[in-house]
Amino acid sequence: MTDYAFTHLRHVDLAVPDYQQQLDFYTHQWGLTNVGTDGDVTYLAAEGSPEQYVVRIRKDSDKRLDLVSYGMSDAASVDGLAERLAVGGVQLVGEPGMLQTMGGGYGFRFFDVDGRTIEVSADVAVRRHRKVEEGESIPVKLSHVVLNSPNPEATVDFYDKWFGFKLSDTLTHPHLGKMMWFLRTNAQHHSMAVARGPHVSLHHASFELRGLDEYMRGTGRMLRAGVEKIWGPGRHTAGNNTFSYFLDPNGNTMEYTTELETLDEDTWHPHLLDFTQPEVADQWGTANAMNEFVAARSFNDPDKGLFIPPPV
């Protein structure tokens, strides 16, 4: 039995100054589909995903992570969570209600312990999607999101206490201590990870491709297009998934991945993994070496305090 509050990750919403270049990157290079624009906001879907959209891009003078969205099982669960959070002193952006975003649904937003906005929802309309075919090197779905926090222990405790996220593995460093916590809200090894960083920001968002061949084709397409690669291609030990990390035009780190591990939750026990061991970072040994310069690229620009994204 599990006590997960959330069923799965829905979407990641980004605000960017260079709006058109961002849209061109995600649609013409990364492989997402523009499914609607409302003023200075565009919704991008993954062809293989039933989610209405997996990335939302909003034009703004400030770059930031607008919000992260998670699904819940039903409206009653949404109401129950809102009540528990309010009683527990967690700041709600608003009361539960019908959402005005694409696909509708019922949900609300709140601020987590780091001040970032989280949205939860149920009863969102399912998007007509399709099977991604063999050889198609486009995202099937949004796989997971990794968040930077200057106080990651408190962030991990927050998501455990209120939403029942379970720890799958932890990356450690012999001199720096614990560096990254992999958290799950279903049997997938992680839907979220929390990284120790200098400030609150998005570390990276990850997109699942159909298989190894499609993952490598997608990685190669990015390299041929001259998109800046940060790290990869390789295969992590935590999650046993492949990785290729690239920078989008506004400096956000995005990952292509595949084969993220599905756990047997009755037998799984979290591991402490020493990140300085080469096989922990990359089992294959094919990726460029991870060092402080590579790591710093995923620190991203700091998000500026509490912010309420517009309800579009």
Average pLDDT score, the chain:
96
What is the reported pLDDT for 304? 83
pLDDT at 47 over 50: yes
Tell me the per-residue pLDDT of 284-306, one tens digit each, with 9 for 90 and over: 999 999 888 888 999 999 998 77
pTM, to two decimals: 0.96
Tell me the per-residue pLDDT of 125-160, one tens digit each, with 9 for 90 and over: 999 999 999 999 999 999 999 999 999 999 999 999
pLDDT at 252 over 50: yes
pLDDT at 165 over 70: yes
pLDDT at 312 over 60: no
Tell me the per-residue pLDDT of 74-125, one tens digit each, with 9 for 90 and over: 999 999 999 999 999 999 999 999 999 999 999 999 999 999 999 999 999 9
What is the reported pLDDT for 41? 97
pLDDT at 1 over 50: no
Tell me the per-residue pLDDT of 193-219, one tens digit each, with 9 for 90 and over: 999 999 999 999 999 999 999 999 999
3-state DSSP of the chain: CCCCCCCEEEEEEEEECCHHHHHHHHHHHHCCEEEEEECCEEEEECCCCCCCCCEEEEECCCCEEEEEEEECCCHHHHHHHHHHHHHCCCCECCCCEECCCCCCCEEEEEECCCCCEEEEEECCCCCCCCCCCCCCCCCCEEEEEEEEECCHHHHHHHHHHHHCCEEEEEEEECCCEEEEEEEECCCECCCEEEEECCCCEEEEEEEECCCHHHHHHHHHHHHHCCCCEEEEEEECCCCCCEEEEEECCCCCEEEEECCCCECCCCCCCCEEEECCCHHHHCCCCCCCCCCHHHHHCCCCCCCCCCCCCCCC
